[in-house]
A and B are shown apart, each in its own frame.
Chain A
């Protein structure tokens, strides 16, 4: 039995199905498969993975690469984790919601909106999570450009207006 047989099987399955739509498909170690896709293809890939047995979205990880924001979607069959990387430009960050396929993704997607400022299109309205209700608007704490000092100044300013 060759090394990473099951992982390579998944890689082939995805490459046959999506061809040029997915890039950088990579098997670097046991039980992990990485791939990259455009935001427009994300839903299709996750739907395909769900029918192929990868029916558990273990988490979504947001990231900030400077010019691009984005997220990793980790779908798993409890043996292998398929990680889909999706990038979106910093100037107008926008990703589609995956709550249609995985309803439990709602909390992860609210975190993407609150902490990284990525607009998640199609996310049902609701209160803020996980930041506080009165957190200053337009501040995204997990962005690399975010500074604690700016935030503390904003909190102070909000306090002064409240006092008035």
Chain B
């Protein structure tokens, strides 16, 4: 590995900026995501920062079962992110559609039918510890 690549990898691991996208979630997971970011768990001290635009983000954090109306919008947001990009499916709904699977307004099968998912974090709602664990596993997979 070249020195410059090492440097890029180091900076990537030390500051994964995330974008949070709610695609039809009940808001339970969104509260837990905010919980993980704010002082009690405070992942910001590790450089994980919530960004307001996909153009600054490395990780797309998607909660919810993905409604049909949001599919083109979600894809557009994903396409705006710079490479390399990662997608986290948050909660039972993001992983598989959850209780909404089979409903007339959601994509059958969950988020991975729409975008390539890097990590699945199950739970209803997910615990902040689980989100942190998922992010850490994602980052350590990059390291190798």
Contacts and interface: CB of A to CB of B under 8 A. Distances in A.
B68 interface: yes
Interface string A121-148: 0000000001111110001010000101
B102 A152 contact: yes
B69 A132 contact: yes
Interface in B105-139: 105, 107-108
A131 B102 contact: no
The size class of the interface chain B forms with chain A is 10 to 19
A141 B68 contact: no
A74 to B, nearest CB: 24
Contacts of B71: 132
Nearest to B102: A148
A151 B67 CA distance: 14
Contacts of A132: 67-69, 71, 105
A155 B108 contact: yes
A21 B62 CA distance: 54
B18 to A, nearest CB: 27
Contacts of A134: 68
Contact of B69 (A133, A139, A141): A133
A131 B108 contact: no
B104 interface: yes
Task: Among A130, A141, A151, A155, find the residue whose CB has the most chain B CB atoms closer than 10 A.
Answer: A155
Nearest to A135: B68
Contacts of B68: 131-132, 134-135, 155
Nearest to B69: A132
A151 B69 contact: no
B25 to A, nearest CB: 17
Contact of A130 (B102, B103, B105, B107): B105
Task: Among B68, B71, B105, B107, find the residue whose CB has the most chain A CB atoms closer than 10 A.
Answer: B68
Nearest to A158: B68
A135 B67 CA distance: 11
B67 A152 contact: no
Contacts of B108: 152, 155
5 contacts: A131-B105, A133-B69, A135-B68, A141-B105, A152-B108
Interface of B: 67-69, 71, 102-105, 107-108
Given A132-B71, A135-B104, A148-B102, 13 more contacts: A131-B104, A131-B105, A132-B67, A132-B68, A132-B69, A132-B105, A134-B68, A139-B104, A141-B105, A148-B103, A151-B104, A152-B108, A155-B108
